[in-house]
Structure 1
Amino acid sequence: MALKKPKDVPEIPKSREKSIDKLKKATPAKKKTEIEFNCKIYFHKDGSNGKQKYRFEVETTKVFSFLNYKITAQARKEKNVIDISLLGLTAMNDYIAKVQPANVEIDFEELFGEFTINLIKQDGSINSALVNFNIYKKEIEFIKEFLPEKKNNSKFCTFEISKDQFTYSKEYNK
Structure 2
Amino acid sequence: MALKKPKDVPQIPKAREKNIDKLKKSTPAKKKTEIEFNCKIYFHKDGTNGRQKYRFEVETLKIFSFLNYKITAQARKEKKTIDISLLGLTALNDYMAKVQPANVEIDFEDLFGEFTVNILKQDGSINSALINFNIFKKEIEIVNEFLPEKKNNSKFCTFEIDKEKFTYSKEYSK
**TM-score of Structure 1 vs Structure 2, range by shorter chain:** over 0.9
Higher strand residue share: 2
- Cα distance in 1 for residues equivalent to 2:172 and 2:66: 40
2:80 corresponds in structure 1 to 80
SS in 2 for 1:101: strand
Shift of the alpha carbon at 1:11? Answer: 4.9
1:13 corresponds in structure 2 to 13
Deviation beyond 6 Å, 4+ runs, structure 1: none
1:29 corresponds in structure 2 to 29
| Equivalent residue pairs, number | 167
1:154 corresponds in structure 2 to 154
- Cα distance in 2 for residues equivalent to 1:54 and 1:9: 45
2:53 corresponds in structure 1 to 53
1:115 corresponds in structure 2 to 115
User: TM-score when scaled to structure 2?
Assistant: 0.93
SS in 2 for 1:102: strand
More divergent stretch after superposition (9-18 vs 105-114): 9-18
Deviations 1:61-96 (A, max 9, x none): 000000000000000000000000000000000000
Deviations 1:115-141 (A, max 9, x none): 000000000000000000000110001
SS in 2 for 1:21: helix
Confirm or deny that 1:142 pairs with 2:142. yes
SS in 2 for 1:24: helix
Residue 129 to residue 11, structure 1, CA distance change in 2 (3 Å)? same
- Cα distance in 1 for residues equivalent to 2:36 and 2:27: 19
Structure 2 counterpart of 1:108, one-letter code? F
Deviations 1:133-157 (A, max 9, x none): 0001100011010000000000000
User: TM-score when scaled to structure 1?
Assistant: 0.93
Structure 2 counterpart of 1:109, one-letter code? E
SS in 2 for 1:87: strand
Deviations 1:3-56 (A, max 9, x none): xxxxx9975421111110000001000000000000000000001111000000
- Cα distance in 2 for residues equivalent to 1:156 and 1:10: 42
- Cα distance in 1 for residues equivalent to 2:17 and 2:127: 21
Confirm or deny that 1:128 pairs with 2:128. yes
CA RMSD of aligned residues (A): 1.2
Shift of the alpha carbon at 1:172? Answer: 1.5
1:3 corresponds in structure 2 to none
